[in-house]
Structure 1
Amino acid sequence: MSFRRFSCFLYMLCPFIVQAVTKDITCPASCECETIFGAKEVDCYNLTDFPSNIPEDTNYLDLSGCNIFHIPIQPLEKLFKLQRFAFQEINTNEDNYNLRALNLPLLNEIVVDGGVSTSIPQLLPPYISTLSVAENNLGTLKSGSFRNYPNLDSLFLSDCMLTKLESGVLDDIPSLSLLQFNDNNLNEDSFPLDVFKKNQALESVSFFDNELKHVVSNLPSSVTSVDYSGNAIFELRAYDFKSTPKLIYLSSTKYGMKITVM
C-alpha cells in the first residue's frame, strides 16, 4: 500500500477511533474519564474521599487507586447505568462500605482486590453475578461465605493465600459457571469430597500455580475446561477425569514440562 493510500485509510479511520475512545471534560478531579466503544469508564487515583460529580451515566467505576476509608451509598445510587465497581478493600471494618442496600439493576460485578480481609465481604449488593476478592489473606474459605450472593456465576479468588475449603462453602452459589483459584497454596487435600456437589452449572475452573500433585477428581460433570498449569502434577491417569466426561480443554504443564497421560 502506497503512503498516500495509507494516509487516506487513516483519515477515513480517524472518526471511528475518535468514536471508540473519547475524553470526558466533566471528569471529577484526580480521575480519568473515557468513553471506550460506548462504555463510560471513570478511574480515580490518590483520593481520600469519595469523588464528587461522577457522571451519572458511568458504566465502570474504579477507585482502586485511592485511599478511601468510607464509601457512601448516596452518590452511588445516582449512577443508574453502573455495571462494574472496583475498589481496594483497605479496611476489615465492612461498615466503611456497606453496600447491601444499593439498588442498581445493571450492577453485576464487584472487585475488592488487594486488601487485608481474612474473609469474604458480606455487605456487598446481594444481586451481583461476578465477584473478585483477589490478593487478600483468606487462608480457609469458610462455609457460608457466599450465602449473601446466590446469583454468582463468576468467582475470582486469586492470590488469597488459600490452603483449604470447608465442606459446603460453594453450596450457596449453584449457578456458578467460572471459578478461579490461581496463585494459592491449595493441594488435593484442600477440597472436601462433597465441595462441588451443588455446582452442576460449573464449566471452567482454574487451579493455576498451586501445590497440587494430583488433579482434583471430584469436579462436577458439567466442567468443560480445567487449568492445572504451574502445579507439581507429573502424570495424568484416565480415571482422574471420570467425573468430567464433557472436558474439552485441559492445561496441565509446569514450567514447560510435558505431562505423561497414563
Structure 2
Amino acid sequence: MMGPVLAACLLIILSTAWISQANGATCKKDGGVCTCNDQTKNVDCSSKGLTAIPSNIPTDTDRLDLRGNKLSSLPHTAFHGLNKLTILNLQFNKLQALPAGVFDQLVELDELHLQYNELKSLPSGIFDKLTKITYLDLDTNKLQSLPNGVFDKLTELKTLYLYNNQLKRVPEGAFDKLQNIKDLQLQSNPWDCTCNDILYMAKWLKKKQDEGLGGVDTAGCEEGGKAVLEITEEEAAEDCVYPNTTTAIPTTIITTLASSNDDDIPELPVPQENFQKFLGYQEPDHLPTQPQCLMSISGYLGLMMFFVLISAAILYVIHFLKKA
C-alpha cells in the first residue's frame, strides 16, 4: 500500500512548491527580477530598468529598494499590504507625481527616499499616515510649492531635505509641527525674499538657529544671496504676486491670423503630448516590463507543469490499484 501514499505525498509537495512559486515571483530564486533576503526581509529591485512596481512583493518586507529604475508614475495601491516596511527607496527614478494615498499603509515607515526624481508638486496629506518617519528626502526634484500642512503629522521627523528644488516660499506654519527636527537642508531654491510670504520662514529659521538646529542658514534669497533668516519686514514688504500659469493667445496674433490668407499662416509644430491630451488620450498608469511578462509566462508554465504532474500521479495511482 506504499504506492498510493507516495503518490499523495508527491501531490502535496508539488502543490506546495507551485503555490510558493506563485506567491514569491518577485524574487530571483522564484524566477523574478529582485533579490530577496529571507533573514533581513530586504527586497532589492534597484537598477533593473523597471517601469512598474514588481508584483507579489512579500508582505513581511522590511526594506524595499527601487532606486535607479525608470518609474514615472505609481498606482495608488503600489505599496498596499506592506505595513511592515521601514525603509522605502525610490531615488533616481522619473517620478513626476505621487497619487494621494500611495503611502497610507506604510504605518511603520522610518525612512523615505524620493530624491532625484521629477516631482513638481505633492498631493495634500501625502505623508499624513507616516507618523513614525524620521528621515524624508525630497531633494533634487522640481517642486514649485508645498501644500498646506504637508509636514503636520511628521512629529518624529529628524531629517528633512528640500534642497535643489524650485521653491519660492513655504506655507504659513509649514514647519511648526516638526518638534524633533535636527537637520533641515533648504539650499539651491529660488527663495523669494521680496514679498511678505517669506516672513514666516525667516522668523522660524531665526528662532531655530538660536535653538541650535543645523541647516537653517542654508536657505538663501534668490536675489542678493542673503540668508532668508536675516530678512526683515521692511525688506519683504511687498504683497506676493505670482504669474498665472495659464497662457492666452495675444490679441495681436489673433488679429493678424484673422486678416491673413491661409497660405500666409505658418504651420506651428504641435508637441505630440499636447495633441494626445487634446484627443483625450491618456497613458495607462503603468505598462508591464519585460521581466514582469517573463514572470507571467513562467507562472503559466509552472501551472501547466503542475497539472501534468498531478495527472501523472493520478494515473500512477489508478495503475497501481488495478495491478493490486
* Length-normalised TM-score, structure 1: 0.59
Q: Deviations over 1:92-111 (max 9, x none)?
A: 443x442133x4xxx63221
Q: Deviations over 1:24-55 (max 9, x none)?
A: xxxxxxxxxxxxxxxxxxxxxxxxx9666xxx
User: Against the structure 1 CA distance between its residues 82 and 153, is the aligned structure 2 distance closer, same or farther, given a 3 Å change threshold?
Assistant: closer
Q: Which residue of 80, 102, 117 maps to 2:39?
A: 80
2:143 and 2:102 mapped to 1: Cα distance?
18
Query: Letter of the aligned partner of 1:218 in structure 2?
Result: A
- Residue 259 in 1 paired to residue 231 in 2? no
Is contact 2:87–2:109 with CA below 8 Å preserved after alignment?
yes
Is contact 2:135–2:157 with CA below 8 Å preserved after alignment?
yes
1:227 and 1:136 mapped to 2: Cα distance?
21
Q: Deviations over 1:76-126 (max 9, x none)?
A: 36x3245573523533443x442133x4xxx63221012222127426743
* Length-normalised TM-score, structure 2: 0.49
Shift of 1:151: 0.7
Partner-residue secondary structure (3-state), 1:232:
coil
2:42 and 2:207 mapped to 1: Cα distance?
36
The residue that corresponds to 1:171 in the other structure is 128
Shift of 1:142: 2.2
- Residue 140 in 1 paired to residue 105 in 2? no
The residue that corresponds to 2:214 in the other structure is 249
Q: Deviations over 1:196-236 (max 9, x none)?
A: 22221122211111012235651223123210111123657
User: Against the structure 1 CA distance between its residues 215 and 147, is the aligned structure 2 distance closer, same or farther, given a 3 Å change threshold?
Assistant: closer
| Unaligned segments of structure 2, at least 5 residues | 1-25, 232-324
Is contact 1:207–1:227 with CA below 8 Å preserved after alignment?
yes
The residue that corresponds to 2:183 in the other structure is 225
Q: Which residue of 60, 66, 74 maps to 1:112?
A: 66
| Unaligned segments of structure 1, at least 5 residues | 1-48, 53-68
Bigger-Rg structure (1/2) = 2
Q: Which residue of 41, 50, 70 maps to 1:91?
A: 50
- Residue 150 in 1 paired to residue 150 in 2? no
1:176 and 1:165 mapped to 2: Cα distance?
17
1:93 and 1:163 mapped to 2: Cα distance?
20
2:62 and 2:131 mapped to 1: Cα distance?
17
Partner-residue secondary structure (3-state), 2:203:
helix
2:165 and 2:227 mapped to 1: Cα distance?
16
Greater share of residues in strand: 1
Is contact 1:218–1:243 with CA below 8 Å preserved after alignment?
no
Is contact 2:88–2:112 with CA below 8 Å preserved after alignment?
yes
Shift of 1:156: 0.8
Partner-residue secondary structure (3-state), 1:141:
coil
Q: Which residue of 163, 167, 192 maps to 1:208?
A: 163
Greater share of residues in helix: 2
Q: Which residue of 178, 185, 194 maps to 2:142?
A: 185
CA RMSD of aligned residues (A): 3.6
Partner-residue secondary structure (3-state), 1:249:
coil
Of structures 1 and 2, the one scoring higher in RCO (CA 8 A, sep 6+) is 2
1:141 and 1:208 mapped to 2: Cα distance?
19
2:212 and 2:58 mapped to 1: Cα distance?
37
